[in-house]
Amino acid sequence: MDKDQLIEEIIKKLHEVYDPEIPVNIYDLGMVYNVDVDEENNAKIIMTLTSPNCPAVDMILADVESQAKSVDGINGAVVEITFDPPWDKSMMSEEARLELGFF
């Protein structure tokens, strides 16, 4: 697989990661800012949390890393947390806003 295909597969896997307090995956919540794959097929995911005090941070990060590593062809994964820009409801997909009743 080429780099773009690997990124696409990682994104598919990130649709399986949920914040345990919210019934929508982290990708549709808009928590994933960037997914990249380097020349050695290592993934780097830059993401945020809905709150800097998220009690499930360790579980979410472990799940993101595990899902990225589960993609055939990915050798490793690093997950970086950022709060710039801070997450807000406008980052959610239309589907997520509908699911959570924000329309």
Q: Does pLDDT of 1 surpass 90?
A: no
Quote the percentage of the chain above a pLDDT of 90: 87
What does the pLDDT read at residue 70? 98
Spans of all domains in the chain: 3-87
Quote the percentage of the chain above a pLDDT of 70: 99
Please give the average per-residue pLDDT across 68-84, as a whole number: 97
Q: d(Cα 74, Cα 87) in Å, to the nearest integer?
A: 28
Please give the average per-residue pLDDT across 47-60, as a whole number: 93
What does the pLDDT read at residue 92? 95
- Region of 68 (left: φ > 0; alpha: ψ -120 to 50; beta: rest) is alpha
CATH number of 3-87: 3.30.300.130
Overall pTM surpassing 0.75 (yes/no): yes
C-beta of residue 4 within 8 angstroms of C-beta of residue 36: no
